[in-house]
Structure 1
């Protein structure tokens, strides 16, 4: 395990805008507030979603698209820099009307309603290519 201590005292609550992309709003917020590193949790509902699943054998993402209203039962993620821009690494558990749910990396979703808690860190976190996983991971 690689690690380092981070600190921060900037905390935010936010209401996501109806009709806008869930993840893009987090990235835009980070840019406007000068946030290079943060942790966030959220909940709400979306009108549609694209979820990615990383196939470890192929080292590639597979996309699943859902064109239906979904509850965001849980959303968790972090903000760090990727190519010098804030990137919101976002995972979500989404549920249907019948209660069935699915989860994965939230690539995109049209917000119906959403609420977030964000804790920003003073130190920057940057993502760099990791040869072992073929992913962009934190360089600690």
Structure 2
């Protein structure tokens, strides 16, 4: 296990723009406020969504697309640097009107409505390729 102690410095709440991309809205906030590392919670609703499922055997992401309105029951993630850009590593639980839940690594979604709480860390975090999993992780 790799770990380090971090302090929080600032916190923000934001309303997302209807029609924008969910993850890009979080990344834009981080860019505008020059947040190099942080953790966020969000909720709301989306008009569609694309999850990425990581096939552990093949070590590749596979997209899973939902072209329907969905409720964002829970969304959590972190902000750090990846390939020279701020990246919002986003996981979400989305629900259908029936209550059926869909969950995973949220790559993109079109915002219907969204609210986000972003907490900034006092240190920069950079994702690096982990040789075992072939994922970009905090090391």
Deviation by residue 1:37-69 (Cα, 9 ceiling, x = unmatched): 000001000000001111111101111101100
Q: Find the counterpart in structure 2 of residue 75 from structure 1.
A: 75
4+ residue runs over 6 A deviation = none
Q: Find the counterpart in structure 1 of residue 60 from structure 2.
A: 60
Unaligned runs of 5+ in 2: none
Q: Number of aligned residue pairs: give it.
A: 139
Q: CA deviation at 1:83?
A: 1.4
Q: Find the counterpart in structure 2 of residue 84 from structure 1.
A: 84
Distance 2:37 2:132 in 1: 24
Deviation by residue 1:75-126 (Cα, 9 ceiling, x = unmatched): 0000000012100000000000111011000000000000011100110000
Distance 1:70 1:26 in 2: 19
Write the mapping of 1:1-140 to structure 2, written as runs, cut at 5 A.
1-139=1-139
3-state SS in 2 of match to 1:65: strand
Distance 2:86 2:14 in 1: 17
3-state SS in 2 of match to 1:29: helix
Q: What is the alpha-carbon root mean square deviation over aligned residues? A: 0.6
With normalisation by structure 2, the TM-score equals: 0.98
Distance 1:120 1:85 in 2: 16
Q: CA deviation at 1:9?
A: 2.3
Distance 1:116 1:92 in 2: 13
